[in-house]
A and B are shown apart, each in its own frame.
Chain A
Amino acid sequence: MSRDLQYTDNGKLRHFLTIEDLRKETLEQILSTADKFTQFGQREIKKLPLLRGHTVVNLFFENSSRTRTTFEIAAKRLSADVINLNPDTSSTSKGETLLDTVDILEAMHTDLFIIRHAKSGVAELIAQHVPDHVHIINAGDGQHAHPTQAMLDMFTIRQYKGSFHELRVTIVGDILHSRVARSQIHALNSLGVHEIRVVAPNSLLPAQIERLGVHTYTDLLQGLDGVDVIIMLRLQKERMHNAYIPSEQEYFNLYGLTTDSLAAAADDAIIMHPGPINRGLEISSEVADGPRSVILPQVTNGIAVRMAVMAMTLGGASDV
């Protein structure tokens, strides 16, 4: 069902909702298209006319300045007209439903919606609802998926490590609540990494996560042993209130990435984080700002990857 939803009848990418069910070639095409856009980003005049005349609406039901900004920049570099809406503070509070909001914007001839919502499945819900010529990109839905984040992470990994096949990758932190981790796991498996590990106390590991193709660890040093890529996840500070963890102090002692714990990984291991960082909670400043950190390049790569996904869904990628 989702496979049909994400592709058109002739196999083109229609919507970009979740990495799960996408073909490996699609992921590879996103990476190669983003490569081309990266080169444009280094030019003095950064605009391409690919999406000229198209209207892109950033429909963010959940706030995020970082993701919204990179989508906005990406759309503008492709010459699209971009509207930013944060309906939490406008129409939805007046009893208008989610789909009413989409209908109204669609009636204004929106071509592409970038959707972020706090509830899992909303991007799928909207994709099922809109007519064929309207495209949806999921910019994060609940704890389900954040596929453009995962693809910019793949792009960054490939940039530093070349290929995926030999890599051991460890994701550390609040896997239970992380849409980023879920999308990363699907992408890493699809692109064929050697091993994926997730590290967290059992209270932050979702049920049967192994079935997604990962090994689970509750011990950080064992989980980091010899790995090439370390992805740290943000821990929401309110997690101790629902008894997921005892205290920030204990969490940092056991799962925080420091110079000491980093020593367990391969010497050339890179450190990633989808941001925003909680310094001193999941990662020490020393490591976050250190030479192995690729956290800022991740952000830069986010623009090219989002340009690639937009261009592919709106159908102009072949003209690049």
Chain B
Amino acid sequence: MSEQMNIHIYGGRIIDPANNVDSVEDLYISQGKIIARGKMPDGFTADESIDAENQIVCPGLVDLSVRMREPGLEYKATLKSECAAAAAGGITTCCCPPDTIPIIDSPAMANMLTHRAAEIGSTQILPIGALTTGLQGETLSDMHALHEAGCVAFCNAESPITNTMVMRRAMEYASSFDLLVILQANDPWLSDGGCMHEGEISTRLGLAGIPEAAETAIIARDLALIEQTGVRAHFARVSSARSVDLIVQARERGLSISADVAIHHLHLTDYDVGKFNTFCRVMPPLRSERDKDRLREAIVSGHIQAICSDHQPHEKDAKLAAFSDAEPGISGLETLLPLGLKLVDEGVLDLDTLIASLSSGPASLLNIEAGTLGTGCRADICVFDPDVEWLLDNTKLLSKGHNTPFKNWPLKGRVTSTLHAGKIVFSQA
């Protein structure tokens, strides 16, 4: 059994923000766990050795939002294809939003997903349960039962809860069991019909815009409810500078809230939509340069604790349409780390902050055991070469979705090996 293999990773620079480690040392893996760092344990014989010289060894990445498309939209992607893509991206924990078909609002669905992922075995899938039944925004889901079935958090995906009382009750109920509520702020009236950031570019292109108030108005509302209910809450896919300001102010008032940003919001703006480039159609939309800069700052200052791929694979036709008809989303699993490393290369972040925001940051806000290389922990490990330069060829992605605006981008840094539960699930040929 490969899970039982003894693996020796040698010569690499270990960066493990959860344990404040940054040093060139060896790692020893046995029985699916990390059993030692540094000195070889007595009696250890390696079945497999990984040469990590001049490479970085970090915790397997934790991605807060991955659309697997299965069940329900298998023509876009499958669990099998996307788990392979995750492994190739060094991602060993994928949180799956509840807007699958059927929706994750029953323990059976949550169980099915985790079991299927375990069968495939290359990455862990953690379901996020629906906050309301059928994501309808009317009645609460069986949150406690869903939690017991493995749901690590609860959200209403991209279906806004417009009834403020339902939102309040959902938060109150979740807080009773210390469950995490994930909020993707969007006022459906303000964003109605909109398909990109409202600003000069939407005006030039004659596309209906989504004002930043579609996000900030709802963040402000939800902050008032969080303050009142005391729920543990997380703002997902924050896209604007003013949203960051609201979150920073609330954190400074002492509210225990966290936030994440999608990696593409740290690299692209509405200008990249150019002439109707549907690969840049995402929700929330790509905003201005000022917004991008503020989001970058918030990662550095720690007010945003996680960067995710917001992986949304699509078939070719989904993007071959009028801009407003194109389906939003980017296939992002395999570019998450390289695009993060680009931020390091540009001097925006240091490597330690980047790795924390891709591993220990999201793990700790979810309160899960992941994103750490601590002795005794499950051996979820990402080994990457930070110096290799390559051009992104979207047709070579393992994900079934080849939809990416980063096609032909020069990238630096690439995953060479990924271990999940002590098993080598990816290695660069």
Residues of A within 8 A of B (CB): 1-2, 5, 20, 97-99, 117, 119-122, 124-125, 141-145, 179, 182, 206-209, 211-212
Contacts and interface: CB of A to CB of B under 8 A. Distances in A.
Contact of A99 (B199, B211, B320): B320
Contact of A120 (B198, B199, B207, B211): B207
Contact of B203 (A99, A142, A145, A208): A208
> Chain B interface residue count: which class?
20 to 34
Given A1-B275, A207-B200, A120 B320 contact: no
Interface stretch (B62-70, B321-329, B409-417): B321-329
A2 B275 contact: yes
Given A120-B323, A124-B276, A209-B203, 7 more contacts: A97-B320, A120-B322, A121-B207, A121-B322, A125-B276, A142-B206, A144-B207
Given A98-B321, A125-B322, A207-B209, A120 B203 contact: no
Given A117-B322, A122-B322, A212 B207 contact: no
Contact of A143 (B198, B207, B320, B325): B207
A120 B205 contact: yes
A125 to B, nearest CB: 6
The 10 closest A-B pairs by CB, nearest first: A144-B206, A143-B206, A121-B276, A119-B322, A206-B203, A208-B200, A120-B206, A211-B200, A2-B275, A121-B323
B322 A212 contact: no
A30 B203 CA distance: 26
Nearest to A61: B322
Contacts of A207: 198-200, 202-203, 209, 211
Give the interface SS of chain B, mostly helix, strand, loop or mixed: loop
A87 B329 CA distance: 29
B204 interface: yes
B173 to A, nearest CB: 35
Given A1-B274, A182-B206, A120 B324 contact: yes
Nearest to B276: A121
B271 to A, nearest CB: 12
A106 to B, nearest CB: 16
Contacts of B322: 98, 117, 119-122, 125, 142
Interface of B: 198-200, 202-209, 211, 274-276, 317, 320-325
Contacts of B204: 20, 182, 212
Contacts of A208: 199-200, 203
A148 B274 CA distance: 22
25 contacts: A1-B275, A2-B275, A97-B317, A119-B323, A120-B207, A120-B276, A120-B324, A121-B207, A124-B275, A125-B320, A142-B324, A143-B206, A143-B208, A179-B206, A182-B204, A182-B206, A206-B209, A207-B203, A208-B199, A208-B203, A209-B203, A211-B200, A211-B203, A212-B203, A212-B204
Nearest to B277: A1
Contacts of B276: 120-121, 124-125
B213 to A, nearest CB: 11
A242 to B, nearest CB: 9
A316 to B, nearest CB: 28
A144 B276 CA distance: 11
A179 B205 CA distance: 9
A206 B203 CA distance: 6
Nearest to B273: A121
A121 B277 CA distance: 9
Most-contacted residue by chain B among A98, A117, A119, A121 (CB, 10 A): A121
Contact of B202 (A119, A141, A206): A206
A155 B194 CA distance: 34
B317 A145 contact: no
Nearest to A1: B275
A37 B199 CA distance: 40
Contacts of A1: 274-275
